[in-house]
Structures are given as structure tokens and as C-alpha cells.
């Protein structure tokens, strides 16, 4: 079912040491050819915010310029609990562009007639406008999208999530499915959303959490995607939505292994301290019922996880020791199969050879560094409001690490945040969301790493990553 490689970032640890030593193991997976050619039917839930703010113009700068040139005064409207100045212009709203993207998704020729879609709207209330329906009935799906303009109100996202949960409840856990959740506002029911998120994880239903503009809660969107093994996105402009939905359809139709689960058995003195998907996007792996839920695996590229182990408390003599055994099981629904793979072992040499202890695997460490860059970025955006100097220092180190890895896209985002912090002493809401969420969907396969002038040394990187 799967080609599997489990490789630690180092092969040796210090013998006779009771203090904690870290081991990061790369779990690299790719579906075998037989499985890769058997795509299962897919179910998509489009959950779209129809609150009052979605009727604002998608391009606010253009709207302001046109209103000023025509000397339009406008009127005061109330939506989402706040007052807004509105003018009558023939420009597309955020909801207009969301609907256009939804129509294009329904007509995407990569989707098959037996794939299914459900359309859900939420504002003060929520409603399933189209129950789960095969795409052979596209006319009904398009009609449901067209009806989104009938609604308005506040932002109760949890109600929309409950509708999605009910709409997909008839599908088995191992079926291929995902929720595409779109909002532009701060939800009134964050706690309800967070309480529901683990249920999506248990049902193997990734939430693709898409936030528009500067008002929505990016911490909430990141948490929803993490717990469900989905992805968060920040849209600076509504025109980016079509690109994101296009990418998600492309990923969805390649997911041929579903509900992959890992069990990790460790020996005395070893603890599992982290499990993270690091490529093609970042997400912390949830542990439920004694197993780690790895989610769905797409054909055509590797999916990579990092398992973090802490070794401490035992002064082991020079020897070769099995630290952990990893078991994997998952479904190939296109073939009607559920497989349990042969267990994978992590062995380690305990030695007094300093050269062997210092040697690390560059590829594994490259993935670890990307995981830690994300941690540093999250820390920096939190610090920016209370300690700009510490935030600046953290971002500078993170930027040096991304340059070393060769991740130009994430480097640019961090540099933009640094530039803003240096000029204004703070990071704006839009920039904060861009850097906090953007890097999670832009991880890359690490190439050869080499020393860089002004960047952190190998030893500094090891200290920063705990390696």
C-alpha cells in the first residue's frame, strides 16, 4: 500500500548520559503504484460565510478611489455588530467572488460525476442549502450557490460546522472528504468551533480553513486545521480564493490512502514529545485513543512527518538499542482495502565517539528546521505587541534558517514582517496573518544545506531545534 522510510536525524547518542537527548525521526511516505491508480469518490463540503461583511467590496482600495472620484457620500449600514459606510458601486463583493469560485469548483473537470458536494451557509444561523449530492447533478449545486445572496447576519461559524458534520455523517471514516470553510469575520462562537474540531479529526475530515482580510481569528483557523489534519490559508485579496480552491481540488483527487494511523511503542526512558506533518504542509498530529491520526496520503509526491523522541533518565552503556517501533495502518478505499503495514523500528547506537554523536542527517534536519521556523514565527507574532526587540531577534533567526534551507517564499514573508516591525515598531494584522499562516502551506523538500554568511551555524541550528 505504502512505500515507507523511517530515518532518525542522527544514528548515535552519548553513552552514559542521564540528561535528555533528542531524536527526530523522519517518516516519509508515498503510495505504491497499484494504490495510486485507484482514486476513491470524494465528498466536498463548501461552508461559506454569508454574514453582512461578505457584502463589502472585494477590492476596498478600488472602491474608495472610485467613490472619491465620483464624490459619493454613501450611507451608514450596520452589519456583524458594527457600523460601516457603504456606497452604490458596480464592483464585485467578497460574496460575489466566493460564489464565482464555488461555481468554478463545481465545474472542475478533475472532479468525477460520482464525487459529491454539499453547500452550507452560515451567519446568525446556518443552513444546508444542498445536501450531499453527486456532481452528476451540477445544476442543483449551482442553484444552491446562487441562493447564497439571500442571507445576511453575524458570524456564527460553529453553526456552519455543525451543518457540515451532519451533512457528512453518513460517510464512513475512511472515505475521502474535506470541509472548505470560508470566513471574513471574527466568529461569535469560538468555543463551539474548538469543541467541534476534534470530532472532525476523529471522522478523518480535514478542515481547509480559509480566512479573508484582517478581522477573522487566525489562531482559531490554525487550530481547526491542525486538529483535523487540514490546512489554514490567509487571503489578502479575494482573487486568491480561486487559486486556493484549485490547489485543494488537485490535492483532494490524489488522496488515495485515507485515515492513516500510527501507533508508537517506546522502550523505558524514551518518550514521544511530538508528531508533526511537515510536508507538503505543516500540521500537528492529533493523538486519539492511543493512536496518532496522520490523515490522508496523496499519490504523486511524498508526505513527510517528523516524530520527536526524548531519551533521558537511563545511563546506557555503549550498545545498540531499539528506541521505538512504529506501526502503520490505513485504508485504500479505491481498492476496498484496509492494510496494516510491517512495523518500522528506530535503532540508536549509544557511544563515546564524539564524531559519531555530532553527525546528523541533512535531509531530516531540514524538515525539523522548517517545523521549528514555524514555532519561532508563531512566537514572534505573539511577542510583537509586548516585546518588539525579542520579536525582531526571533524573526531574524527564523529568516536565516529559511535562507539556509532555500525556502524563498517563507523567507520573503518573514522579511516583510521584519521590515514592517523595523519601520513601525509593530506588525499589522494583515502581515501577522500572512506570516503566521502562510508558512504552514509553503514547506518544501530540503536540498543540500551549506554555511551562509550572517546565518546561524550548524551548532546554533542544533541548539535552536533541540537536535
pLDDT above 70 (res 1): yes
Distance, in Å, from the CA atom of 147 to the CA atom of 440, rounded to the nearest integer, reads 33
- By the 10 Å C-beta count (0-12 exposed, 13-18 middle, 19+ buried), 61 is classed as exposed
Residue 237: the pLDDT is 87
Residue 82: the pLDDT is 57
DSSP assignments along 221-244, one per residue? HHHHHHHHT-EEEEESSGGGHHHH
Residue 449: the pLDDT is 39
H or E stretch at 434 = helix 429-438
* 8 A C-beta contact, residue 417 and residue 435: yes
pLDDT above 50 (res 460): no
Average pLDDT of the segment spanning 51-77: 68
Average pLDDT of the segment spanning 260-271: 97
| Residue 37 per-residue DSSP state | T
Q: Rounded to 5 degrees, what are φ and ψ at 272?
A: -85, 115
Which runs of E-coded beta strand occur in 142-229? Answer: 176-183, 207-212
Place of cell 531540514: 366
Average pLDDT of the segment spanning 206-231: 95
Residue 450: the pLDDT is 35
Average pLDDT of the segment spanning 316-337: 96
Residue 286: the pLDDT is 87
Average pLDDT of the segment spanning 62-74: 60
Residue 467: the pLDDT is 41
pLDDT above 90 (res 461): no
Place of cell 533528542: 22
Contact partners, residue 90, CB within 8 Å, separation at least 6: none
Residue 462: the pLDDT is 43
Residue 453: the pLDDT is 36
- By the 10 Å C-beta count (0-12 exposed, 13-18 middle, 19+ buried), 240 is classed as middle
Tell me what percent of the residues of the chain surpass a pLDDT of 70: 88
Mean pLDDT of the chain: 90
Report CA Rg, the chain.
24
| Residue 330 per-residue DSSP state | E
How many CA atoms does the CB half-sphere of 349 hold within 13 Å? 13
Q: pTM to 2 decimals?
A: 0.90
Q: Kindly report, residue by residue over 353-363, the tens digit of the pLDDT.
A: 999 999 999 99
Amino acid at each position: 500500500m505504502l512505500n515507507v522510510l523511517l530515518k532518525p536525524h542522527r544514528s548515535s547518542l552519548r553513552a552514559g548520559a542521564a540528561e535528555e537527548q533528542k531524536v527526530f525521526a523522519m517518516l516519509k511516505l508515498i503510495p505504491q503504484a497499484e494504490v495510486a491508480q485507484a482514486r476513491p469518490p470524494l465528498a466536498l463540503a463548501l461552508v461559506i460565510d454569508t454574514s453582512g461583511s461578505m457584502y463589502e467590496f472585494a477590492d476596498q482600495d478600488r472602491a474608495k478611489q472610485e467613490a472619491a472620484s465620483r464624490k459619493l457620500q454613501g450611507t451608514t449600514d450596520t452589519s456583524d455588530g458594527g457600523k460601516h459606510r457603504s456606497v452604490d458601486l458596480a464592483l464585485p463583493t467578497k460574496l460575489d467572488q466566493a460564489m464565482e469560485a464555488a461555481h468554478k469548483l463545481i465545474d472542475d473537470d478533475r472532479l468525477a460525476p460520482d464525487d459529491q458536494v454539499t453547500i452550507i451557509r452560515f451567519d446568525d444561523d446556518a443552513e444546508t442549502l444542498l445536501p450531499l449530492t453527486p456532481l452528476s447533478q451540477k445544476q442543483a449545486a449551482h442553484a444552491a450557490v446562487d441562493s447564497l445572496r439571500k442571507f445576511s447576519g453575524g458570524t456564527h461559524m460553529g453553526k456552519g460546522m455543525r451543518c457540515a458534520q451532519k451533512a457528512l455523517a453518513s460517510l464512513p471514516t475512511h472515505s475521502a472528504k474535506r470541509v472548505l470553510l470560508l470566513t471574513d469575520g471574527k466568529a461569535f462562537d469560538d468555543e463551539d468551533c474548538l469543541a467541534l474540531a476534534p470530532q472532525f479529526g476523529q471522522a478523518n475530515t480535514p478542515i481547509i480553513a480559509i480566512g479573508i482580510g484582517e478581522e477573522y481569528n487566525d489562531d482559531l483557523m490554525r487550530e481547526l486545521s491542525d486538529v483535523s489534519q487540514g490546512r489554514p490559508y490567509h487571503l489578502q485579496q479575494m482573487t486568491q480564493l480561486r487559486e486556493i480552491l484549485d490547489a485543494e481540488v488537485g490535492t483532494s483527487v490524489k488522496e488515495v490512502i485515507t485515515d492513516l494511523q500510527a501507533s508508537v511503542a517506546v522502550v523505558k526512558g524514551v518518550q514521544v514529545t511530538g508528531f508533526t506533518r511537515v510536508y507538503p504542509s505543516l500540521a500537528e498530529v492529533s493523538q486519539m485513543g492511543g493512536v496518532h491520526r496522520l490523515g490522508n496520503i496523496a499519490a504523486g509526491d511524498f508526505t513527510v512527518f517528523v516524530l520527536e523522541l526524548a531519551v533521558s533518565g537511563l545511563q546506557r552503556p555503549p550498545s545498540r538499542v531499539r528506541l521505538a517501533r512504529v506501526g502503520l495502518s490505513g485504508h485504500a478505499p479505491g481498492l476496498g482495502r484496509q492494510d496494516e503495514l510491517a512495523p518500522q523500528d528506530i535503532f540508536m547506537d549509544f557511544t563515546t565517539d564524539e564524531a559519531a554523536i555530532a553527525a546528523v542527517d541533512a535531509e531530516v534536519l531540514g524538515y525539523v528546521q522548517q517545523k521549528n521556523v514555524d514555532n519561532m514565527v508563531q512566537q514572534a507574532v505573539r511577542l510583537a505587541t509586548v516585546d518588539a526587540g525579542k520579536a525582531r531577534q526571533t524573526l531574524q533567526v527564523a529568516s536565516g534558517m529559511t535562507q539556509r534551507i532555500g525556502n524563498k517564499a517563507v523567507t520573503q514573508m518573514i522579511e516583510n514582517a521584519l521590515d514592517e516591525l523595523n519601520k513601525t515598531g509593530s506588525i499589522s494584522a494583515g502581515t501577522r496573518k500572512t506570516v503566521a499562516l502562510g508558512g504552514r502551506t509553503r514547506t518544501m523538500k530540503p536540498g543540500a544545506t551549506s554555511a551562509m554568511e550572517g546565518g546561524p551555524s550548524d551548532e546554533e541550528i542544533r541548539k535552536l531545534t533541540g537536535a
